[in-house]
Amino acid sequence: MNRSDLMLMALSGILLCILPSAAAFTLDIFGNANMDDTINADDIAYLQGIINGTNKETELADANYDGKIDQLDVSQIEEIIRGVEKNLTIIQYIKPSSAPEIARTPVKVPLPIESIAALSGTYGPEMLCVLGDADKIVAVTDTAANRGEIREMIKDKPGVGATFEWDMEKVLQIKPDVVLGYASYDYSEQRKILDASGITLIQMNFNRPEVYAGEARNLGWLLGKKDRVEELIDFEDKHLNLIEERVKGLTNAEKPRVYAESYKDLQYSAGSTSITAAIKPCGGINIFEELKGSNNEIDPEQVITDNPQVILKMTSHNDMSNSGFDAVNTTQMAAKVLDIVNRTGWNNIDAVKDGRVCIITSDAASIHPSIFNSYVAKWLHPDLFKDMDPLEIHKEWQQKFLGIEFKGVYAYPLQEES
């Protein structure tokens, strides 16, 4: 090896310390000083460079989140690597419906976590069940046990109010280590009460594809379930990437016009429900794309004028008892489709004439948007996804991650029924 080669190798080693790593994703946990996809000895080297003045300070360098970067942060990273850290500070992706964009909000979480009030509807409890931590759940919302998929795992957990209206007195009596709530709601008042009692509030959304991997990874690190979380993320990526790859080359002329109706009749919510969020990534054109906000009242005559080629209706196990895991047949879903078909003047809409009026429950989305989008993609492009079976994808997920046998009706009509 000549002198030039040795100098190049030395320079490469220096650059590794100087430059943050260009990883496929950034692990949003403080201590990830070089902003790559994990926390390891490379972060200690990079952090030492910050302390010595040779490396640029990064967002996640303050490992112990005390407002300054020093040798105590090196000690924190060393503890994280050994798995003996007493706390982790993670980034939350908080976006109440009124907020224009996601706010990256840190929260320091004491470890280990032994008890969790899982109050983010059914999604929080389901994620904990998937991770094998149902035993850590000490409270849920009053209606969480309505979800058939996880009913047996949480049936003995006390209810402490609604998803957005917690019974704080009950929560404080139970005194969990942490409360897990949605990131799409402003819990600032509840946070003050919890903080005063030494209870940490963590806000996460497991139903949004754009933050799913980050939320899941952060929770996996907090609970020591990193490998399980990567299995979940791999499943999502596999199926969402397949859909993305197949629709990315479609022209607008090849994309069907879609009317997506929310839970209530003739109501549309922009981006706040899985049904509207799925249209574009599944290769459709949203006829009400310009509408913003939630619960927009829709003029039925406007739908006739816009003449969608596909109509998608959203429901849930709370709105339609014979849907989701507990459904015994398609009767109630079929009746709702017929109700839509029979709306005055809608017989002239292409979607109605072609039998492309479909209904799907939010339980098909839950903490696995890939399943929901698989159903929608199949409806929008049956020929393009001829080889894809959303039902089999759904069955695989429930068996692999919840250990249950698939049952019920989540979407109607399925392709073979249409």
> How much of the chain exceeds pLDDT 70, in percent?
93
Q: Which of 63, 85, 107 is the last residue of a domain?
A: 85
Residues 98 and 144 in one domain: yes
In three state form, how does the secondary structure of the chain look?
CCHHHHHHHHHHHHHHHHCCCCCCCCCCECCCCCCCCCCCHHHHHHHHHHHHCCCCCCCCCCCCCCCCCCHHHHHHHHHHHHCCCCEEEEEEEECCCCCCCCEEEEEEEECCCCCEEECCCCHHHHHHHHCCCHHHEEEECCCHHHCCCCHHHHCCCCECEECCEECHHHHHHHCCCEEEECCCCCCHHHHHHHHHCCCEEEECCCCCHHHHHHHHHHHHHHHCCHHHHHHHHHHHHHHHHHHHHHHCCCCHHHCCEEEEECCCCCEECCCCCHHHHCCCCCCCEECCCCCCCCCEECCHHHHHHHCCCEEEEEECCCCCCCCECCCCCCHHHHHHHHHHHCCCCHHHCHHHHCCCEEEEEHHHCCCCHHHHHHHHHHHHCCCCCCCCCHHHHHHHHHHHHHCCCCCCECEECCCCCC
| pLDDT one-digit tens code per residue, 30-59 | 999 999 999 999 999 999 999 999 999 999
Q: Is residue 9 part of a domain?
A: no
Give pTM, 2 decimals.
0.90
What is the predicted pLDDT for the residue at 95? 87
Position 3 in a domain: no
192 and 314 fall within a common domain:
no
Does 328 lie in the same domain as 282?
A: yes
Per-residue confidence (pLDDT) for residue 2, from 0 to 100 = 46
175 and 185 together in one domain = yes
Same domain, 81 and 92: no
pLDDT at 77: 98
Question: What is the average per-residue pLDDT within 165-169?
Answer: 96
Do 134 and 25 share a domain, yes or no?
no
**385 in the same domain as 373:** yes
Q: Are residues 283 and 359 in the same domain?
A: yes
Q: Is the pLDDT of residue 78 over 50?
A: yes
Domain encompassing residue 146:
86-224
Is 406 part of any domain? yes
Question: Are 345 and 269 within one domain?
Answer: yes
283 in the same domain as 190: no
Domain-terminating residue out of 55, 85, 115: 85
Q: Does residue 355 surpass a pLDDT of 50?
A: yes
Confirm whether 233 is domain-assigned: no
pLDDT tens-digit series, residues 299-325? 999 999 999 999 999 999 888 989 999
388 in a domain, yes or no? yes
CATH number of the domain bearing residue 257: 3.40.50.1980
Q: Is residue 135 a part of any domain in this protein?
A: yes
Q: Count of domains in the chain?
A: 3
Q: Does 330 lie in the same domain as 216?
A: no
Over range 337-362, report the average pLDDT: 97
Assign 293 a pLDDT band (cuts: 50, 70, 90): confident
Residues 58 and 202 reside in one and the same domain: no
Mind listing the pLDDT tens digit for each residue in 244-258?
999 999 999 999 999
pLDDT at residue number 306: 98
Is 235 within the bounds of a domain?
Answer: no
**Which of 85, 113, 137 represents a domain boundary (last residue)?**
85
Whether residue 232 lies inside any domain: the answer is no
